[in-house]
Amino acid sequence: MLTLLIVGFLVIALSGYLVGVYNSLVRVRAAVKLAWSDIDVLLVQRHDELPKLVEVCKQYMQYESGTLERVMRARADVESARSARNLPGVSSAERELRSGLNGLFAVAENYPQLKASDAFRHLQERISGLETALADRREVYNDAVNTNNVRIVSFPDVLVARLGDFPAASLLRFQTEEKADVNLKAAFSG
């Protein structure tokens, strides 16, 4: 009788422990999804701001349609990759967008009236703020992914992770030039 009671207690304790591990893994997986959602929100906001920037620039930049088209094409590529949750595609499209923005801001130096425009300055500050927030959210996302990926391969969590179908998540990887913020103030000072 005492043996049966001890075995019953151990089964209940083990079951409780496994449920706790499972619930903890669910929270970690949810943190990864939340972190991506935060990035997604900022990408959408930036996505919405870029056409406004291009429109303001078009008013002043009559001969720079190639530069403006490059930014809009890169914007579309980021949106497509973001919608598909294609992390390598987001990384690649981000590189093109940053390059396009840098080109746009370099060309804008030749248009003093554009640099003096209140609408342009407002959009410049808004996009710069979004770029900073995106860099912060990328770090939060990668931290959440790292926590998830460590947990699902650590013993005893690995046993529950395999039974509960907890896959590894992908880190957002950016090349050195992509990690740097688009320095809009430097591009327009002078």
Residue 181 pLDDT exceeds 60: no
Q: Give me the amino acid identity at 47.
A: H
What does the alpha-carbon distance between residue 120 and residue 134 come to, in Å, rounded to a whole number? 21
Q: Give the orientation angle of helix 65-83 with respect to helix 87-108, to 10 degrees.
A: 160
CATH of the domain at 88: 1.20.1440.20
C-alpha closest to that of 169 among 189, 142, 190, 188: 142
pLDDT digits (tens, 9 = 90+) for 47-99: 888 888 888 887 777 667 777 888 888 889 988 988 888 888 888 888 888 88
What does the alpha-carbon distance between residue 80 and residue 90 come to, in Å, rounded to a whole number? 8
Residue 187 pLDDT exceeds 50: no
pLDDT value at residue 174: 63
pLDDT digits (tens, 9 = 90+) for 16-46: 998 999 999 999 999 999 998 888 888 888 8
What does the alpha-carbon distance between residue 21 and residue 156 come to, in Å, rounded to a whole number? 9
Residue 109 pLDDT exceeds 70: yes
pLDDT value at residue 163: 85
Total residues belonging to the chain = 190
- Which position has the higher pLDDT, 153 or 188? 153
Residue 190 pLDDT exceeds 50: no
pLDDT digits (tens, 9 = 90+) for 131-163: 888 888 889 999 999 999 999 999 988 988 888
Domains identified in the chain, total number: 1
pTM score of the predicted model: 0.70
Which residues form the domain of 181?
2-188
